[in-house]
Structure 1
Amino acid sequence: MTRASVGSAFPLTSFHLLRRPTPTPTSLYATANAAVAMPDNQRPHPSLEVVGDSFLPALKTLNRPYHPYPIIGWNRHLETIFASFFRSLPAVRFRRQCLRTKDDGVVALDWVSGDDRLLPEASPVLILLPGLTGGSGDTYVRHMLLRARKNGWRVVVFNSRGCGDSPVTTPQFYSASFLGDLREVVAHVATRYPKANLYAVGWSLGANILVRYLGQESGSCPLSGAVSLCNPFNLVIADEDFRKGFNIVYDKALANSLCKIFKKHALLFEDMEGEFNIQLAANAKSVREFDEGLTRVSFGFKSVDDYYSNSSSSDSIKHVSTPLLCIQAANDPIAPSRGIPRKDIQENPNCLLIVTPKGGHLGWVAGADAPRGAPWTDPLVMDFLQHLEKPGSGTSEPCSTSDVGMQSAESLHGVEV
């Protein structure tokens, strides 16, 4: 159930990257931002809500209607659960690199095995940030990884502390508020591949962390582009909805996953002083209880509400200067549509928002690969990234996929400092 989660998370502007078509005597497509002259066959389909106009000509499939898969895609909870349990899991051979952080913590970076031999040093690098308790074993992560790799991209999955079997070596996990690990991961990848452009895709809580990072780094952000999917944006609103109706099922499932991770490393927390409530965290029945017992104290917040309020990426959008594509589902039960910062996205020329009428949370069971294949969003994400990497071309030579086989983990010995 962890895949249905709240996060299971070089300064370029859109004006530089966007190659607008020569105006033609066609109808105007009115976005929430402006009226843009576009040929009829390039205008986003009315079934989609679009906020902003940057990058639209590069997104080749937006002119098609969003058709949810019959029955599965008609109910947001059914779609969320189906995608979590029944979406196919592509086999990928990983080589694990454990990266020690400045505070002696450890995060696990999963690279596709063999890519150092197959790909040039200048190949673009895509960093993937899964959702809460998620990692390189999640289906939506694997599908995006394979799509990018087939287009000649080097891909690495960032498994946060305790996630994806990443080791926990200090009495601290990760949170929606903590950007330190992501900064170190991006810096490490940039140093390792200095000739490559860096990009990132985040889902759910991973998307919230990514957008906060973009906002805080602003004009000095080393990423050339980013994509946010199923972002809860406003964690206060998300928390309100998380405790209502059927959402309680997700809440309990996620709390259970958090508790399992915590119990594996409980000895690290035995002698913690202060307001920590270790028993509450170890036996939490909701994500809020876990955050009350552990998370908000670890990161210095007075209350859970204070933690949620100050960790929401909705406040970061206005500061984003990196090209950013945000994709949300209007019926997402975990990332409520009313929490999307539409006005700030509309006013930021670096941002584009697409809201599908259906999709659930981390679902999007629609498109050519439905029901068990890649989410509907994947081709859209790849078109956007390809446009940023090679403006106007949208092409690159695919790399060999011969190294994609049975799943295994080839971990490096020791911990890289």
Structure 2
Amino acid sequence: MDSSSLSPYIILFNALSQIPTWHYLVALLIISITFLYKFLEVHFFEDVFFKSQGTPITYNPSSPFCNAILSSCKILHSRFVATTWISSPHFQTAFLQFCGRSPVFSYRRHLFRTSDGGTIALDWLLNADVSGGAFGINGASLPMNNAISQDETTPIVVVVPGLASSSTSNYLKNLAFNLAKHGWNVVVSNHRGLGGVSITSDCFYNAGWTEDLRAVANYLHDKYPMAPLFAIGTSIGANILVKYLGEDGEGTPIAGAVAVCNPWDLLIGDRFICRRLLQRIYDKALTIGLQGYAKLYVMKVQQHHLIIL
């Protein structure tokens, strides 16, 4: 048969059939790796080729304080480079959740009552506990009592947890332990209804509620006036922290603060967490955590309803 009379599709098929099978397998492998690289948001090559480039920093160049920090913290001038085999935010999250080991210790718990009758669990981990080995007790909380004198000068750092997180979360236990090991007295200010504490008021926490952090900061400053007071917020806790600092300005007793993974714009954050299939897994996980918190709210309402009846 004259080749000119053949269908171009047949010619194409005959040409493709001449290509060895292993070539197709290699091509499929390359396509799959490229897809997973994008899907899992891996940044291995970016780290390799651009690790020498610093991340842009937003600060006030005319501020002596900011310039002093930048000159002292050399790490701010470099780019964060993740561990090679977990160079993906999803790998890092999974590793921390399923493989990460948190240090074993017990907090010293103090139940702080707010003006409206709410209860906040303040979980302390002292530098003296870590250096003295008291943290090795795992289980019931250690007594707070007079563990810190009122003239204590060791700096105190208040940690504000993320959404549906408490002092028992792995990332917070690692944060608290390392801070205490480096000379800080750490207090995790659990949100109302979390940390194993019942809801005792009709007011609950949310990203716009800064009154609890304000009350805790003022309480700590009044009780330990000689100790410099700092704060670290993570995730939604960072959002609450910076909102509080913006509201109080120079009136806050907090000398310095750090916002970690702050969802600055909650509307954009909500859109981002729903934009891809993988992000929706986090959306579902956060929802499950909030459902547990909501059940506490339902029980509280039912109790009030039964009392009224």
| Fold match by TM threshold 0.5 | yes
Partner residue, 1:48: 55
Distance 2:72 2:166 in 1: 29
Is it true that 1:266 corresponds to 2:298 in the alignment? Answer: yes
Partner residue, 1:58: 72
Q: How many residues align?
A: 229
> In structure 2, which of residues 132, 144, 158 is the aligned counterpart of residue 127 of structure 1?
158
Distance 2:111 2:104 in 1: 21
Q: Structure 1 segments of 4 or more deviating over 3 A?
A: 62-65, 113-120, 270-273
The alignment partner of 1:206 has SS state of helix
Distance 2:234 2:204 in 1: 18
Name the aligned partner's letter for residue 111 of structure 2. C
Distance 2:238 2:210 in 1: 12
Q: 1:133·1:164 contact (CA, 8 Å) conserved in 2?
A: no
Map residues 8-407 of structure 1 onto 2, 5 A cutoff: 45-52=52-59, 53=61, 54=66, 55-73=69-87, 75-112=88-125, 117=147, 121-245=152-276, 246-270=278-302
Distance 1:271 1:163, change over 3 A: closer
* Aligned alpha-carbon RMSD (Å): 2.4
Following superposition, the deviation at residue 46 of structure 1 comes to 1.4
Higher helix share: 2
Distance 1:48 1:94, change over 3 A: same
Structure 1 segments unaligned to the other structure (5+ residues) = 1-43, 274-417
Q: 1:128·1:156 contact (CA, 8 Å) conserved in 2?
A: yes
The alignment partner of 2:57 has SS state of strand
Name the aligned partner's letter for residue 275 of structure 2. K
The alignment partner of 1:146 has SS state of helix
TM-score, normalised to structure 1, is 0.51
Q: 1:45·1:62 contact (CA, 8 Å) conserved in 2?
A: no
Name the aligned partner's letter for residue 57 of structure 1. S
Distance 1:165 1:171 in 2: 17
The alignment partner of 2:84 has SS state of coil
Name the aligned partner's letter for residue 209 of structure 1. I
Percent identity (aligned): 34
Structure 2 segments unaligned to the other structure (5+ residues) = 1-50, 130-145
Name the aligned partner's letter for residue 90 of structure 2. H
Name the aligned partner's letter for residue 74 of structure 2. K
With a CA cutoff of 8 Å and minimum separation of 6, indicate the structure with the bigger relative contact order: 1
The alignment partner of 2:199 has SS state of coil
The alignment partner of 2:76 has SS state of coil
Partner residue, 2:22: none
Name the aligned partner's letter for residue 244 of structure 1. R
Distance 1:45 1:188, change over 3 A: farther
Q: 1:161·1:173 contact (CA, 8 Å) conserved in 2?
A: yes
Please give the per-residue CA displacement for 1:267-315, whole angstroms capped at 9, x wherever unaligned. Answer: 2223889xxxxxxxxxxxxxxxxxxxxxxxxxxxxxxxxxxxxxxxxxx
Partner residue, 1:290: none
TM-score, normalised to structure 2, is 0.68
Following superposition, the deviation at residue 164 of structure 1 comes to 1.9
Name the aligned partner's letter for residue 292 of structure 2. K
